[in-house]
Structure 1
Amino acid sequence: MAGWTVHTGTAVALPLANVDTDQLIPARFMSAPRSEGYGSFLLHDTRRDEDGALRPDFPLNRHPEANIMITRENFGSGSSREAAVYALIDAGFRAVIAPAFGDIFASNAVNNGLLPARLTPEACAQIEQMLGDGTAQARIDLDQSTLTIGAQDFAFDLDASWRIKLINGWDDIDLTRQHAAQIAQFRNNRSQAAPWAWPGEVD
């Protein structure tokens, strides 16, 4: 997975709260192989009418070029399905900006290179108003933890370890590997300090 530090793209507002993972990708699509791409399943039922046709008033249908989403609180709540993140990534999204995220969704997002950036409800509402029914060019800087739209900067919250993982393209295993020397040293010290607790050889 390729890491990134700065992303410039198109921001769109999705004025919906409590978008859960079942909405992001309904369970019936999760049997499809990832190699086929999950982008077409993103918000499949939400963005369609009762006849299955794409709703022309839905933001992602109006602006399929968007790759930065500004949305409302509790995004990615619900079940732990990682496929919800796959659907966003395969649809081209690099970041989701919201006041709060489901914890497991946010962790899955970072491990797959998708930024879940937390802004205050007031800031998200301000950006939503700025975008209206349209889009705007936006710039995200992970080093500075800023989202820039026009001449305005918005500082977002981002855990330090998440920043490292996104910039380097790491998941949890990659992050742990960076401490391999310290882990080996601890093992050696522990085996000497408490040999009685160390597994013996099996005959």
Structure 2
Amino acid sequence: MTGWSQHTGLAVALDRENVDTDQLIPARFMSTPRSEGYGDFLLYDLRTDNNGNPIADFPLNSTPDASILISRRNFGSGSSREAAVYALVDFGIRAVVAPSFGDIFASNAVNNGLLPARVPEAEVDAAISQLSAGPVEVSINLTDRTMRVGDSVLDFTLDDVWQQKLINGWDDIDLTQHHKAAIAEFRTQYVKDTPWAIPVQQTNFRSAGRDTGSQ
């Protein structure tokens, strides 16, 4: 995964609360191999009519090159399906801005390079109002956790560790590997300080006096 610290792209508004993971990618598409991409399935039941035809004025249809989505509270609630994040990323979305997120969704987002930027509800209201006239270019700076929307500069909330993971392109394994030396040092010291707590490994049963087959 490639890390990033700055991004500028078109933002569109999804003026809905409680956009859950089943809306982000309906369950019937989950059998598709990840290698084929999930972008076409993003918000499928909202973006298409009953015949599967795109709804022209749906924001992501009218602006298919949008890379920033501004929405309402509780975005990504529901199940823990990571495919909801895959659908956003494969469509080309780099950041979702909302007052609040489903916890598991937000964690999955960061592990896949997608920014879940928390912004106060009043500021989301103002941004969505500004986007009602059409898409607006937004610039995001992960380093100082700010975004410029038109003439306004907004601060967004992001956990320190998540900020580090996004900038470096790390998932949880990469983050653990980053602390490999400290983990090794802790283990060495722990063995010295508490030798009584370390199990003795006995691989030779004969030498351990457990060869019950001998007379």
* TM-score normalised over the length of structure 1: 0.98
Match of 2:96 in 1: 96
What's the CA shift for 1:50?
2.1
Q: Does the CA-based 8 Å contact 1:59-1:133 persist in structure 2? A: no
| CA distance in 1 between partners of 2:199 and 2:83 (Å) | 40
* Aligned 1:47-196 pairs, distance under 5 A: 47-196=47-196
SS in 1 for 2:65: coil
What's the CA shift for 1:55?
1.2
What's the CA shift for 1:133?
4.4
CA deviation map 1:145-165 (0-9, x unaligned): 011022210000011100000
Q: Please tell me whether residue 39 in structure 1 is matched to residue 13 in structure 2.
A: no
**Percentage of pairs with the same residue:** 59
CA deviation map 1:55-102 (0-9, x unaligned): 122111111110000000100000000000000000000000000000
For 2:38, give the aligned amino acid. Y
SS in 2 for 1:46: helix
- Any unmatched runs of 5+ in structure 1? none
For 1:134, give the aligned amino acid. G
What's the CA shift for 1:177?
1.2
SS in 2 for 1:45: helix
Q: Does the CA-based 8 Å contact 1:11-1:138 persist in structure 2? A: yes
Cα–Cα, structure 1 residues 133 and 59, in superposed 2: closer, same or farther, change >3 Å? farther
Q: Compare 46-55 and 168-177 and name the one that shifted more.
A: 46-55
| CA distance in 2 between partners of 1:136 and 1:57 (Å) | 16
| CA distance in 2 between partners of 1:121 and 1:20 (Å) | 18
Cα–Cα, structure 1 residues 133 and 39, in superposed 2: closer, same or farther, change >3 Å? farther
* Aligned 1:9-24 pairs, distance under 5 A: 9-24=9-24
Q: Which of the two has higher C-alpha Rg?
A: 2
| CA distance in 2 between partners of 1:23 and 1:199 (Å) | 50
| CA distance in 2 between partners of 1:193 and 1:149 (Å) | 55
What's the CA shift for 1:181?
1.3
* TM-score normalised over the length of structure 2: 0.92
| Count of aligned residue pairs for this structure pair | 203
Moved over 3 A (4+): none
Match of 1:30 in 2: 30
SS in 1 for 2:183: helix
| CA distance in 2 between partners of 1:151 and 1:18 (Å) | 28
What's the CA shift for 1:51?
2.5
